[in-house]
Copies of this chain bind each other. A is one copy, B any other.
Amino acid sequence: MASPPRSLSISFFVLLIIPIISARTSFIKLPGSDGSRSAATNTYCESWRLAAETNNVGTWDVIPSICVDSVSEYLNGDQYGSDYGVIADYALAFAKTVQISGDGKDVWIFDIDETLLTNIDYYKAHGYGSIPYDSNSYNEWVVQGTAPAFDASLRLYNALKKLGFTIVLLTGRDEDQRSVTEKNLRDAGYLDWERLLLRGREDQGKSATNYKSEQRSKLIVEGFKIHGNTGDQWSDLLGFAVAVRSFKVPNPMYYIP
């Protein structure tokens, strides 16, 4: 087959390349993992994250699909750790104002997942909350017992112990995950808690808000004073028998009612 005349060939090449160049420099950009998301998508996703953190979204199942990249960027950048750090600082400032009685009854409660331990490695491999929760694969991850500590949470935990607080861990994990949870916590650096409260058989089917409120209520009946409570879910903090001060650490990946 004969080649087309040279001038036609060049014109064809130019016609071919112009839309590629203009697509790359277009002001209207589609969401993507290369930082090319539109400003509007970024703004929306920041608003969504704030709405989720302030409990304005209500019950939600998965994160908005257009926000996967934005949430991933947040979790893998400096902001996520900084957010824990600033909250830990405010928690500690409050803790220092508490008059410790010395009878071991001054309690600080911590949730575990996304509060003391980070499961970011699991969520990284499962779409950062964009895929519906799968208990099988999640429990496989939990029994590995390799979740690391949040730096700021470990710092707060140790500072509270030094101040004389009694530490109670209150988690939605099941009783049959006690050993692996204890080992994971110790490996991550958390030592000498007073109690680790997990869901027993009688707690199955209860909302996290009810289950955790009931557990706090029992502590109060026992004579404990719950000064502080740190959790990544509003269901860790709200309900009844609430702490004097509650500290909500961020979690833009999942919601537990």
Interface residues, chain A, CB within 8 Å of chain B? 39, 43-44, 46-48, 50-51, 53-58, 78-79, 82-83, 85-87, 90-91, 94, 245-248, 250
Q: Which of B51, B55, B56, B86 contacts A47 (CB 8 A)?
A: B86
A-B pairs with the 4 shortest C-beta distances? Answer: A47-B86, A47-B82, A54-B248, A47-B83
CA distance A79 to B91 in the complex (A): 28
A43:B245 contact, CB within 8 angstroms: no
Give the chain B neighbours of A56 by CB distance below 8 A. 86-87, 90-91, 247-248
Give the chain B neighbours of A79 by CB distance below 8 A. 43, 46-47
CA distance A106 to B127 in the complex (A): 40
CA distance A75 to B250 in the complex (A): 22
Q: Can you list 16 A-B contacts with CB-CB less than 8 angstroms, sorted by A residue number?
A: A39-B78, A43-B79, A46-B79, A47-B87, A48-B86, A50-B53, A51-B83, A51-B87, A51-B90, A54-B54, A54-B248, A55-B246, A56-B87, A56-B248, A58-B90, A58-B94
- The minimal Cβ–Cβ distance linking A95 to chain B, given in whole angstroms, is 12
CA distance A63 to B54 in the complex (A): 19
CA distance A78 to B79 in the complex (A): 20
Give the chain B neighbours of A87 by CB distance below 8 A. 47, 51, 56
Q: Is the interface of A mostly helix, strand, loop or mixed?
A: helix
Q: Which of B46, B57, B82, B247 contacts A90 (CB 8 A)?
A: B57
CA distance A90 to B47 in the complex (A): 11
- The minimal Cβ–Cβ distance linking A114 to chain B, given in whole angstroms, is 14
CA distance A202 to B45 in the complex (A): 44
Give the chain B neighbours of A50 by CB distance below 8 A. 50, 53, 83, 86, 250
A58:B245 contact, CB within 8 angstroms: yes
CA distance A127 to B46 in the complex (A): 25
- The minimal Cβ–Cβ distance linking A257 to chain B, given in whole angstroms, is 13
B248:A78 contact, CB within 8 angstroms: no
- The minimal Cβ–Cβ distance linking A138 to chain B, given in whole angstroms, is 25
A46:B82 contact, CB within 8 angstroms: yes
B85:A47 contact, CB within 8 angstroms: yes
CA distance A104 to B58 in the complex (A): 25
Give the chain B neighbours of A245 by CB distance below 8 A. 58
Give the chain B neighbours of A83 by CB distance below 8 A. 46-47, 50-51
